[in-house]
Amino acid sequence: MGLFKKKTDVKTYDKKNLKPVIKASICNGEQVAGFKNIHTGKIEEVMLIKSPADLESFKVMYRIEEDIAKEY
């Protein structure tokens, strides 16, 4: 019926100063999605990515349509 469908909140980010990235660990493979400040290089972590569904949820939450770069 769809009465109890989980609603995703749409959030925004500063597209001029921030770019979406995935910070990946070489050691254990842990991945964290967040935003990198293009001026300072500092990464603000937003959520842990455990599965492709988590990554898709992150992209929908922030309306990201392009591929997200990985940084190690």
pLDDT for 2: 55
Give the chain's domain count: 1
**Residue 4 in tokens:** 């109890």
> CA-to-CA distance for 72 and 65, rounded, in angstroms?
22
At 9-49, the pLDDT tens digits run: 788 899 999 999 999 999 998 999 999 999 999 999 999 99
Judge whether 5 lies within some domain.
Answer: no
Judge whether 72 lies within some domain.
Answer: no
pLDDT for 67: 94
- Residue 25 belongs to what domain range? 18-67
Judge whether 12 lies within some domain.
Answer: no
Judge whether 60 lies within some domain.
Answer: yes
Judge whether 2 lies within some domain.
Answer: no
pTM: 0.81
pLDDT for 9: 75
DSSP state of 39: T
In sequence order, what are the residues at sequence separation of 6 or more whose Cβ sits closer than 8 angstroms to the Cβ of residue 70? 21, 22, 23, 24, 31
Judge whether 53 lies within some domain.
Answer: yes
Judge whether 48 lies within some domain.
Answer: yes
